[in-house]
């Protein structure tokens, strides 16, 4: 399931704010309700992807098939920016601009990630990794305005190993936090990391952002839990040991 494209969380669980809250926002903070409805996703003007056929073919070969390279408008909009307040205000107005990926690539494993990065390097494409899409610090917007692809890691969602003696687990980057907790709980363990983005955020996102959260005082920041990383680069694999 994907998060609400123009907001936070599961759209099926959305509920209106109670009058006590809306009254507080209105009377004490001066917040005024919108006078117009947000733009519908289907009404957002999305330009055709600016990718050469050779680049698309190379990405498809690297990711295991054309079905793992998506260029449709909805998928690209859903991978535009994160969930900060400025991000949400802009996307609700239908503004995508230069932050719209030309394609969304979904590799299945580490080797495919390396292959995708090599293909992007060969064709001059920037890459923005995408986990749960919960970034509120601009982590999903590119620095440059040339064509770029979003590297969606959702297919890499497994626990690869668990050592009950050292109490260490090897987790793939696209594994969402609730699923990680469920897998660890089967063996009597917990990750113990519960930031505000817990329901949607991924292990890779935790590591990339040195995640912190409500339970950090008890179990520590996420970077304090990481013993080693296996990173993909266009030149090959970097193993930190």
Please, what is the end-to-end C-alpha distance for the chain in angstroms?
34
| Domain presence at residue 203 | yes
| Domain presence at residue 5 | no
59 shares its domain with 144: yes
133 shares its domain with 180: no
**What range does the domain containing 219 cover?**
159-239
| Domain presence at residue 65 | yes
**Residue pLDDT, tens place only, 171-208:** 999 999 999 999 999 999 999 999 989 999 999 999 99
Contact 155, 145 (CB under 8 A): no
Contact 169, 162 (CB under 8 A): yes
Domain termination residue (choose one: 131, 152, 173) = 152
Per-residue pLDDT averaged across 135-162, rounded?
91
Domain termination residue (choose one: 88, 123, 152) = 152
Contact 129, 151 (CB under 8 A): yes
100 shares its domain with 167: no
Rounded CA-CA distance 107/121 in Å is 16
Domain termination residue (choose one: 152, 182, 215) = 152
CATH number of the domain bearing residue 189 = 3.30.465.10
Contact 149, 105 (CB under 8 A): yes
Which pLDDT value is given to residue 57? 97
**Residue pLDDT, tens place only, 225-234:** 999 999 999 9
**Residue pLDDT, tens place only, 47-98:** 999 899 999 999 999 999 999 999 999 999 999 999 999 999 999 999 998 8
138 shares its domain with 202: no
Rounded CA-CA distance 125/128 in Å is 10
């Amino acid at each position: 399931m994907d998060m609400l494209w123009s907001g936070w969380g599961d759209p099926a669980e959305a509920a209106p704010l109670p009058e006590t809250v809306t009254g507080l926002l209105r009377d004490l903070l001066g917040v005024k309700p919108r006078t117009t409805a947000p733009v519908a996703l289907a009404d957002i003007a999305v330009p055709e992807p600016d990718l050469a056929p050779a680049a698309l073919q190379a990405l498809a070969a690297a990711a295991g098939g054309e079905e793992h390279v998506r260029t449709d408008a909805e998928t690209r909009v859903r991978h535009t920016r994160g969930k900060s307040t400025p991000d949400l205000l802009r996307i609700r107005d239908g503004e995508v601009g230069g932050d719209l990926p030309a394609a969304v690539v979904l590799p299945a494993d580490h080797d495919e990630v390396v292959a995708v990065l090599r293909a992007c390097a060969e064709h001059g494409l920037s890459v923005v990794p995408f986990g749960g899409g919960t970034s509120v610090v601009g982590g999903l917007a590119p620095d440059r305005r040339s064509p770029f692809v979003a590297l969606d890691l959702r297919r890499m969602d497994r626990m690869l190993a668990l050592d009950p003696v050292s109490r260490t687990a090897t987790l793939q980057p696209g594994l969402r936090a609730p699923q990680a907790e469920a897998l660890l709980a089967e063996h009597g363990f917990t990750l113990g990391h519960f930031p505000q983005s817990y329901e949607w955020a991924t292990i890779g996102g935790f590591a990339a952002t040195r995640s912190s959260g409500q339970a950090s005082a008890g179990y520590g920041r996420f970077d304090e839990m990481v013993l080693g990383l296996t990173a993909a680069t266009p030149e090959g694999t970097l193993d930190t040991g």
